[in-house]
Amino acid sequence: NAGVTQTPKFRVLKTGQSMTLLCAQDMNHEYMYWYRQDPGMGLRLIHYSVGEGTTAKGEVPDGYNVSRLKKQNFLLGLESAAPSQTSVYFCASRETGTTIYEQYFGPGTRLTVT
Amino acid sequence: GIQVEQSPPDLILQEGANSTLRCNFSDSVNNLQWFHQNPWGQLINLFYIPSGTKQNGRLSATTVATERYSLLYISSSQTTDSGVYFCVQEIQGAQKLVFGQGTRLTINP
């Protein structure tokens, strides 16, 4: 049982490049989330999904797209990276009807856009 | 929207000291949670505490929902307690978490 995994762990992009971050969970959770954490701040919600095939916008969705084609995977895409997207990205998952105590976080992906 | 404010922003202590971290929130508490983010960035669940008091070893937490604040107590601090402590509230029914800015705790040997 690996929990929540994220790929890659680190990435450096040039402005304008695109990339996809992969989040995978093996706990059969319905809900999945993408957050970003900027220096000295807490996490802010980018997008989330309440089930396979569904996505919804969070607090800071601009510049990102997501897809949930399979229940276990939640992809975060940056179509044209900007330096303002330099951040640490965390994925999380949780089962329906559970509290936030039962939200499991991945280890994070550190992205730098130059 | 819900505001979550934490104090102090930074705290530097010697090993063995006790500390109290505070979280004030602007709306009725929903599913309040304390997390620890260690120096490697890993997020660790500490307490789910929408009200009352809980203890786990050297850590304890109290939430007074009627006065809209929560406290995290760390006794006999160890260097492994270093990191950032976040207070987090959930927007009920919206599947969304609101994080405070965190308290950065540094425990020196």
* B45-97 residue pLDDT tens: 899 898 999 999 999 999 999 999 999 999 999 999 999 999 998 877 666 78
Q: With 80 as the cut, is the pLDDT of residue B28 above it? A: no
Instruction: Tell me which chain B residues have a C-beta less than 8 angstroms from the C-beta of A61.
Output: none
Is the CB of residue B30 less than 8 Å from the CB of residue B91?
yes
Coil, helix or strand at residue A13: strand
What pLDDT is attached to residue A10?
96
Give the whole-angstrom CA distance, residue A23 versus residue B21: 32
A25 or B44, higher pLDDT: A25
What pLDDT is attached to residue A100?
64
Chain B nearest C-alpha distance from A98 (Å):
10
Instruction: Tell me which chain B residues have a C-beta less than 8 angstroms from the C-beta of A98.
Output: none
Place of tokens 């505001």: B3
- Closest CA in chain A for residue B97: A45
User: How many Cβ atoms from other residues are within 10 Å of residue A18's Cβ?
Assistant: 10
Give the whole-angstrom CA distance, residue B69 versus residue A85: 33
